């Protein structure tokens, strides 16, 4: 926390300093180190992404760009996990529209997320429980098509069979 504060202060006070690239990179890493689990606030995760994207766009030839991109991807995974966690919480607590709102953007925002099959299961369940059967069937069909070997395919089929 102290490192992030110091790097932010340095960047603000010395925007043209020759070591500003170092400060931007290490600011992003400092935020990354503060990243919390998926069930907690993700402000540090978002700050890490912003800082490291700023770094990679301003200094694309820097030798640390590859590492910065890897950290950004790890942050994106955490954000996807967070959205999945919150969406599943809403589903479990019978707030189906809120679950749909949280889960729907995940596949588009985080296409490399490794748990998209679970996202589609929860999203289909939320639509079904919200009385949106056609949407649920579409979502489950997407799950079947994109992830035919997923353990969630059987759960989705059982969920649909229960409703019909």
pLDDT in tens, 70-103: 999 999 999 999 999 999 999 999 999 999 999 9
Cβ proximity of 70 and 97 under 8 Å: no
Q: Which pLDDT score, from 0 to 100, does residue 160 have?
A: 86
Low-confidence ranges of the chain (pLDDT < 70): 164
What distance in Å separates the CA atoms of residue 130 and residue 111, rounded to the nearest whole number?
25
What angle in degrees, to the nearest 10, is found between the helix axes of 43-58 and 20-33?
Answer: 160
CA distances from 86 to 7, 64, 117 (A): 32, 33, 16
Contact at 8 Å (CB) between 121 and 106? no
With 0-12 / 13-18 / 19 or more C-beta atoms within 10 angstroms meaning exposed / middle / buried, residue 148 is exposed
Note the pLDDT of residue 164: 66
Q: Could you tell me what percent of the chain has a pLDDT over 90?
A: 85
């Amino acid at each position: 926390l102290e490192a992030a504060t110091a790097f932010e202060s340095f960047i603000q006070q010395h925007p043209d300093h020759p070591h500003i690239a170092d400060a931007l990179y290490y600011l992003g890493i400092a935020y990354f180190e503060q990243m919390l689990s998926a069930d907690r606030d993700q402000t540090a995760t978002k700050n890490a992404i912003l800082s490291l994207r700023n770094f990679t766009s301003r200094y694309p030839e820097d030798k640390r760009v590859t590492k910065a991109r890897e950290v950004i991807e790890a942050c994106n995974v955490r954000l996807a996990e967070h959205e999945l966690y919150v969406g599943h919480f809403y589903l479990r607590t019978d707030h189906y529209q809120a679950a749909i709102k949280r889960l729907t953007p995940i596949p588009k925002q985080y296409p490399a997320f490794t748990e998209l099959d679970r996202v589609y299961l929860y999203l289909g369940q939320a639509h079904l429980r919200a009385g949106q059967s056609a949407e649920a069937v579409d979502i489950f069909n997407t799950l079947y098509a994109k992830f035919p070997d997923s353990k969630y395919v059987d759960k989705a089929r059982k969920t649909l069979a229960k409703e019909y």
